[in-house]
Amino acid sequence: MRYIDAFNHFFPSAFFQEMLQTPAGSKDLGKRMRGIPAVHDIDVRRRVVEEFDDYTQVLSLGLPPAELLVGPEQSPELNRIGNDGLAELVAKYPDRFVGYAASLPMDVPDAAAREAERVLAAGANALQLFTNVKGLPLDDPRFLPIFEIAAKAGRPILLHPVRTPATADYASETFSRYEIWTILGWPYETSVAMARLVFSGVLDRFPDLKVVTHHLGAMIPYFSDRIRYGWHQLGTRTSGEDLDAVAKRMKKPVIEYFKGFYGDTALCGSRASVVCGLDFFGADHVLFATDCPFDPEGGRGFIREVIAVMESLDLAPDAREKICFRNAERLFGLGDG
Amino acid sequence: MRYIDAFNHFFPSAFFQEMLQTPAGSKDLGKRMRGIPAVHDIDVRRRVVEEFDDYTQVLSLGLPPAELLVGPEQSPELNRIGNDGLAELVAKYPDRFVGYAASLPMDVPDAAAREAERVLAAGANALQLFTNVKGLPLDDPRFLPIFEIAAKAGRPILLHPVRTPATADYASETFSRYEIWTILGWPYETSVAMARLVFSGVLDRFPDLKVVTHHLGAMIPYFSDRIRYGWHQLGTRTSGEDLDAVAKRMKKPVIEYFKGFYGDTALCGSRASVVCGLDFFGADHVLFATDCPFDPEGGRGFIREVIAVMESLDLAPDAREKICFRNAERLFGLGDG
């Protein structure tokens, strides 16, 4: 089976060097990332990828977003370095790196819009957005042009969670310990961002927008009927906000908006969860992805685990092809897609 | 099939009258709860329950916990009123209400311990704990006696999510809108509380403790391999805390602690999620429950949906009986269990 890995992470050399100069990069972050060669050394990365037959990657930058590394005077340039670096790798190694998702200087919304237009014109296959911008939710009106550009270009958003400054404070009281924020907080954050895109009307405004959510829809599939019935009662459970107006504005049942998202299979394995996510989204809205190289082996672990899950699933040939590569071809504009 | 509903909510009359006198109860909360007769009117509740053959309930108080309704000078008394009210209903209608979980004045830990001992001696079948106590996590040393009492009595904790004051602040920046905190934040909060019980060593200290998590383990089953591999790398991803010491203290792989919890089937339906949760916990650690009466129909909706899911599952007869009633009999000390 052909596999296109829709969501995985790499720091191109020039970006990585810049990152190591930043306050965070010069300390723990840099140390940690240097310890994962497959995330910044293209030769190591290629060797990992080449262990798998008929397997290619659409590359995205890793975390943190540039706006958490540098100030707004530098983030447009840092994002451009990252995006050009990914474009270069795709040009140089088209056999294994078939596309890339560009990241944007979202802390400077005008610059983000210009960068989105620049990279999409130059052939970027998607835009990677993080679930908040220094605590600002993605449905903030400042970010509407980005969604409009993506929708017009017919290219998807890859939605990746990121910690918020506000949750860092929250964390200091209850949640900071034990890396809970990373392991559990990220999927929560993705789910919150999805809900805000639904209720704020962003998805109604751009009905053709395609948003691929990391970790197979995060919390949404497992809690699908909690969402269906809970938000059916929107405004009856809490007060202090005019939720009746929100409910009236909705053009379809809340759960249908959530089903309109796409999910990737980057759940580190979890076969029964992939079955659950597929049941929710359907084969047209799930894309194979691995989160390479953030497994305990530093690169090949999650590729192997997710492929094993895919091979174990009882799927019609057509559905299997959609999930493994056809949806990616279509969304990213690859090959015949 | 016999069904024992392990987790659902009712306000006994005396408790409900007290609740309506509190600041929150005299406003929106009271208004909302008065709009759901099956949560406070025993005749309405009995009629709902009697629509289902061979179906009984183990009752728990509804939210919020007493410490969010009244101050510490009143919460011990308010909890006692609630617990005695539930005990009375079980004594009066044993054909449908086969047991109850007592709630505790956790804001006054000494009083909580005394109340736990009192109710367990008097025949309470479980203790309902909320996932934080006004923002304090459950692994705070002040709460250790409660876990010890539950473990010694051989009765389970029913773990229910509740909003924290800190998340209310967090919410004000990003998450407050659209009831996101209730629908998605609660399962996140449950998952965080589970993780803290794991990493703080509470579960090692009380290996016989049984903790039944609402909403089928919340986020844990869907993200089981994210947890397995992510927390396998505990301490390698973040810094600022001595996580090596935590990792060394663990007596078994992190994921095994999470599998030691129990989950209830209160997912409002979501058949594929129940399959996923069962795959994670196994039939010995899942209990039928419905969250009655918080469905859009005010009582019968979730009972009907969850029973329909149970009937649709392809289960061995032995596994089905465990989930539907035998695990509940065993944990709650009912009948021959």
Single out the residue of B44, B46, B85, B95 nearest to residue B62, CA to CA: B85
Checking if the pLDDT of B239 tops 80, the result is: no
pLDDT level of residue A241 (50, 70, 90 thresholds): low
Please tell me the number of Cα atoms within 13 Å of B53 on its side-chain side: 1
- Name the residue of chain B whose CA is nearest to A230's CA: B183
- Name the residue of chain A whose CA is nearest to B170's CA: A166
pLDDT level of residue B233 (50, 70, 90 thresholds): confident
Task: Tell me what pLDDT residue B232 has.
Answer: 81
C-alpha B324/C-alpha B34 separation (Å) is 31
Kindly state the helix (H) or strand (E) to which residue A194 belongs, with its residue range: helix A186-199
A163 CB neighbours in chain B (<8 A) are: none
Checking if the pLDDT of B172 tops 60, the result is: no
Q: Which two tokens stand for residue B211?
A: 């903790």
C-alpha B89/C-alpha B110 separation (Å) is 27
- Name the residue of chain A whose CA is nearest to B220's CA: A184
Using an 8 Å Cβ cutoff, are A228 and A253 in contact? yes
A233 CB neighbours in chain B (<8 A) are: 296
B283 CB neighbours in chain A (<8 A) are: none
Mean pLDDT of B47-66: 97
Q: In B159-286, where does DSSP find H-type helix? A: 165-170, 180, 186-199, 202-205, 214-217, 224-230, 243-249, 254-259, 271-281
- Chain segment B258-298, per-residue pLDDT in tens: 999 999 999 999 999 999 999 999 999 999 999 999 999 99
- In chain B, % of residues over pLDDT 90: 84
Single out the residue of A138, A116, A141, A135 nearest to residue A127, CA to CA: A116
- Chain segment A287-331, per-residue pLDDT in tens: 999 999 999 999 999 999 999 999 999 999 999 999 999 999 999
C-alpha B233/C-alpha A183 separation (Å) is 11
pLDDT level of residue A240 (50, 70, 90 thresholds): low
- Chain segment B100-153, per-residue pLDDT in tens: 999 999 999 999 999 999 999 999 999 999 999 988 899 999 999 999 999 999
Using an 8 Å Cβ cutoff, are B283 and B317 in contact? no
Using an 8 Å Cβ cutoff, are A92 and A45 in contact? no
Contact yes or no for A180 and B166 at CB 8 A: no
C-alpha A69/C-alpha A64 separation (Å) is 7
Instruction: Find which of B223, B232, B248, B312 to mutate to test the A interface (most A CBs within 10 Å of its CB).
Output: B223
Task: Tell me what pLDDT residue B166 has.
Answer: 52
Task: Tell me what pLDDT residue B193 has.
Answer: 94
Cis peptide before B64 (omega within 30 of 0): yes
In three-state secondary structure terms, A238 is: coil
CA distances from B239 to A29, A189, B235 (A): 9, 21, 7
C-alpha B5/C-alpha B101 separation (Å) is 12
A223 CB neighbours in chain B (<8 A) are: 183-184, 187, 215, 267, 270, 273
Contact yes or no for B182 and A238 at CB 8 A: yes
How does the average pLDDT of chain B come out, rounded? 93
Instruction: Find which of A178, A192, A216, A310 to mutate to test the B interface (most B CBs within 10 Å of its CB).
Output: A178
Single out the residue of B113, B119, B143 nearest to residue B131, CA to CA: B143
Kindly state the helix (H) or strand (E) to which residue A18 belongs, with its residue range: helix A13-21
Mean pLDDT of A274-282: 98
Contact yes or no for B225 and A180 at CB 8 A: no
Task: Tell me what pLDDT residue B238 has.
Answer: 59
**Which of A166, A176, A230 has the CB atom closest to B173's CB atom?**
A166
Mean pLDDT of B25-38: 92
Checking if the pLDDT of B168 tops 90, the result is: no
- Chain segment A110-158, per-residue pLDDT in tens: 999 999 999 999 999 999 999 999 888 999 999 999 999 999 999 999 9
Task: Tell me phi and psi for residue A111, to 5 degrees.
Answer: -65, -35
- Chain segment A13-51, per-residue pLDDT in tens: 999 999 999 998 898 889 999 999 999 999 999 999 999
Mean pLDDT of A223-252: 83
Domains and their CATH numbers in chain A: 101-332 (3.20.20.140)
Task: Tell me what pLDDT residue A242 has.
Answer: 76
Please spell the DSSP secondary structure of B43-59, one letter per residue: HHHHHHHHTSTTEEEEE
- Name the residue of chain B whose CA is nearest to A168's CA: B170
Checking if the pLDDT of A99 tops 50, the result is: yes
Q: In A126-164, where does DSSP find H-type helix? A: 144-153
Distance (Å) from the alpha carbon of A163 to chain B's nearest alpha carbon: 12
Checking if the pLDDT of B84 tops 70, the result is: yes
Question: Cα A82 from chain centroid?
Answer: 16
Checking if the pLDDT of A106 tops 90, the result is: yes
Q: Which two tokens stand for residue A293?
A: 């190289």
Distance (Å) from the alpha carbon of B297 to chain A's nearest alpha carbon: 10
Distance (Å) from the alpha carbon of A39 to chain B's nearest alpha carbon: 14
Task: Tell me what pLDDT residue A22 has.
Answer: 94
Mean pLDDT of A98-102: 98
Using an 8 Å Cβ cutoff, are B85 and B13 in contact? yes
Checking if the pLDDT of A167 tops 60, the result is: no
Taking phi first (over 0 means left), then psi (-120 to 50 degrees means alpha), and beta for anything else, what does residue A269 get? left
In three-state secondary structure terms, B158 is: strand
**Which of B178, B225, B237 has the CB atom closest to A269's CB atom?**
B225
How does the average pLDDT of chain A come out, rounded? 93
Using an 8 Å Cβ cutoff, are A265 and A243 in contact? no
- Name the residue of chain A whose CA is nearest to B63's CA: A237
**Which of A166, A183, A225 has the CB atom closest to B230's CB atom?**
A183
Task: Tell me what pLDDT residue A238 has.
Answer: 59
pTM metric for this prediction? 0.96
Distance (Å) from the alpha carbon of B122 to chain A's nearest alpha carbon: 34
